């Protein structure tokens, strides 16, 4: 498993550098009237490759399932950077319907990640942990969808072109896919935990001797 740990660290570093370089060279930049096709491809491709690797490689899958779910959950505290969306919406740099939804969603997940990692990432709270991860995934999907459809929702409004420029471009090309992968891993781990068994009500009632 040490081999996969090193390989994964290298791949994440290469991925980050690729996203940074592509943004610096304006390879994913789109105009205000253009759909963010390259940005969407950059966001979805890492997730697709991860799912493929997870499915076809038992060793890699086993490696991911041995990662500490608490640590993986606490990484989501980085999503407190969602406050940046609120600031950009205030100054009219990003459309409000997108920025406020994405911003407050990320802030909510970022704040609750501390508690989720400390109290929910255990077999005793398996279902609650899965629900929290599903909510985190829903936040990411909704944010990406609103960003992609911003021009359709309000053709004359502020565009999401700022999301294709550094430093904001690193969020959809690196941050969003990485957080999505962490959610997927945590859910896969939780599904392997034993469901909490409750004794029948009759057995839970205290017995009274005559």
Which percentage of the chain shows pLDDT scores above 70?
Answer: 90
* pTM of the shown model: 0.89
Determine how many CB atoms are found less than 10 A away from the CB of residue 136: 27
Q: What confidence score (pLDDT) does residue 209 get?
A: 46
Cα–Cα distance, 15 to 135 (Å, whole number): 26
- Tell me: pLDDT of 203 over 60: no
- Count of other CB atoms within 10 angstroms of residue 95: 22
User: How does 75-87 read in b/e, with b if 16+ C-beta sit within 10 Å?
Assistant: ebeebeebebbbe
Q: Cis (ω within 30 of 0) for the bond into 140?
A: no
Q: How many CB atoms lie within 10 A of CB 71?
A: 11
Q: What is the pLDDT of residues 11-55, one digit of tens each?
A: 999 999 999 999 899 888 876 666 667 778 888 999 999 999 999
Model pLDDT for residues 108-161, shown as the tens digit of each residue: 999 999 999 999 999 999 999 999 999 999 999 999 999 888 878 888 888 888
- Give the per-residue pLDDT at 33: 65
Burial of 122 (0-12, 13-18, 19+ CB in 10 A): middle
Side-chain half-sphere CA neighbours of 64 within 13 A: 21
For the segment 79-102, the average pLDDT, to the nearest whole number, is 96
166 and 24 in contact (C-beta within 8 Å)? yes
């Amino acid at each position: 498993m040490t081999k996969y740990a090193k390989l994964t660290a290298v791949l994440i570093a290469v991925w980050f550098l690729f996203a940074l370089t592509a943004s610096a060279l304006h390879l994913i930049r789109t105009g205000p009237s253009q759909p963010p096709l390259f940005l969407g491809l950059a966001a979805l491709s890492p997730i697709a490759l991860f799912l493929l690797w997870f499915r076809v490689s038992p060793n890699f899958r086993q490696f991911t399932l041995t990662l500490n779910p608490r640590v993986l959950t606490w990484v989501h505290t980085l999503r407190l950077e969602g406050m940046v969306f609120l600031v950009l919406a205030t100054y009219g740099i990003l459309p409000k319907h997108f920025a406020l939804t994405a911003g407050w969603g990320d802030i909510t997940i970022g704040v609750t990640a501390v508690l989720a990692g400390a109290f929910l990432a255990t077999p005793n709270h398996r279902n609650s942990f899965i629900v929290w991860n599903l909510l985190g995934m829903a936040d990411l999907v909704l944010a990406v969808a609103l960003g992609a459809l911003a021009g359709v929702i309000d053709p004359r409004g502020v565009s999401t072109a700022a999301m294709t420029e550094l430093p904001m471009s690193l969020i959809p090309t690196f941050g969003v896919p990485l957080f999505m992968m962490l959610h997927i891993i945590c859910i896969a781990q939780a599904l392997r935990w034993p469901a909490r068994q409750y004794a029948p009500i009759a057995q839970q009632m205290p017995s009274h001797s005559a």
